Amino acid sequence: MKNKLPEYRKKHGYSQDRLAERLGVSRQTIISIEKGKYNPSLPLAMIMAELFQTNVESIFVLEEEDYK
């Protein structure tokens, strides 16, 4: 799954540390999500979308291989 988390994070003025603190996760979790090594839980993805005033699908995009 691709994500646009770095773009949304920067657009809203969050460092990785500050976003992690705001979401109650570690900075390493944010790094892993941004690198596509970890997919967040649905509740975490929904909190991110609410924080950035958008929908989950705008931040996280399924790719064709995700359906296999």
Confidence band for 36, pLDDT divided at 50, 70 and 90: very high
Predicted TM-score (pTM) of the model is 0.90
* Chain mean pLDDT for the chain: 95
Within a domain: residue 34?
yes
Within a domain: residue 17?
yes
How much is the pLDDT for 27? 98
Angle subtended at Cα 21 by Cα 16 and Cα 22, rounded to the nearest 5 degrees:
100
Beta partners for residue 56, in sequence order: none
What number is the average pLDDT over the span 14-28? Answer: 98
- For 46-68, what is each residue's pLDDT tens digit? 999 999 999 999 999 988 777 76
Within a domain: residue 65?
no
Q: How many domains does the chain have?
A: 1
Within a domain: residue 6?
yes
Within a domain: residue 33?
yes
CATH of the domain at 48: 1.10.260.40
Confidence band for 32, pLDDT divided at 50, 70 and 90: very high
Tell me the residue range of the domain where 36 lies. Answer: 2-59
